Structure 1
């Protein structure tokens, strides 16, 4: 399976989140991640949902593919209704 690299969003944080999310979802279905999903960690931790009361829960529930990048994003955000 080949997934083409997307174009940049204009914000390195969102580019990193996209790469980490693809790595996470592919791991769940036991597929290899493309090389473009390998990223360096962000220079500062980032909570896309904000640092409010849910920040601690986001840190507990973030997939390792994102936490390695310094992104704290609750894995439940990937579910659909």
Structure 2
């Protein structure tokens, strides 16, 4: 392990946003899953640092808003307020990332508040397995 272990850096929202730009949707969901996994392993007191910086635009408004909702959702789960940059991001029309009738119904019922408020309908369960 030695030196390599010390150089490990978990994904931040800024880095995640940069990786999402230009990626296809299946790669984007894999990146979100990787981010969530790394976030879960970080000590609660340092997790905030992963969300503080504002990601540049991914080039896709849906994913820009998704990042804001994700940052707010994770902050709330850790019992603290969202980073200030999330406030400016929301959609004018609803977005269902998993657009089958069953997924839509599930998302309407189970979307976390931070996502629902911004017009992103994804169920909490989909975030757990993303």
Bucket of the pairwise TM-score, normalised by the shorter protein? 0.7 to 0.9
Query: Considering only aligned residues, what root-mean-square deviation do their CA atoms show, in Å?
Result: 1.8
Normalising by structure 1, what TM-score?
0.86
TM-score (norm 2): 0.56
CA contact (8 A) 2:96 2:121 kept: yes
Mapped contact 1:45–1:72 kept (Cα < 8 A): yes
Q: Please name the residue that 1:78 is paired with.
A: 127
Is 1:54 the counterpart of 2:86 in the alignment? Answer: no
The structural deviation recorded for 1:80 is 4.7
Counterparts of 1:6 and 1:40, CA distance in 2: 11
* Structure 1 residue 76: Cα displacement: 1.2
Q: Which residue of 1 aligns with 2:44?
A: none
Give the structure 2 partner of residue 7 of structure 1.
56
- Deviation track 1:14-34 (CA, whole Å, cap 9, x = no partner) reads 100110111011101112211
Unaligned runs of at least 5 residues, structure 2:
1-47
Q: How far 1:13 moved relative to its partner?
A: 1.0
User: Any idea what SS the aligned residue of 1:42 has?
Assistant: coil
Q: Which runs of 5 or more residues in structure 1 are unaligned?
A: none
Q: After superposition, what is the alpha-carbon deviation per residue over 1:27-68, rounded to whole angstroms, capped at 9, x for unaligned?
A: 011122111111353121110111432201111010111111
Count how many residue pairs are aligned between Structure 1 and Structure 2.
Answer: 81
Equivalence for 2:87: 38
User: By percentage of residues, which structure has more helix?
Assistant: 2
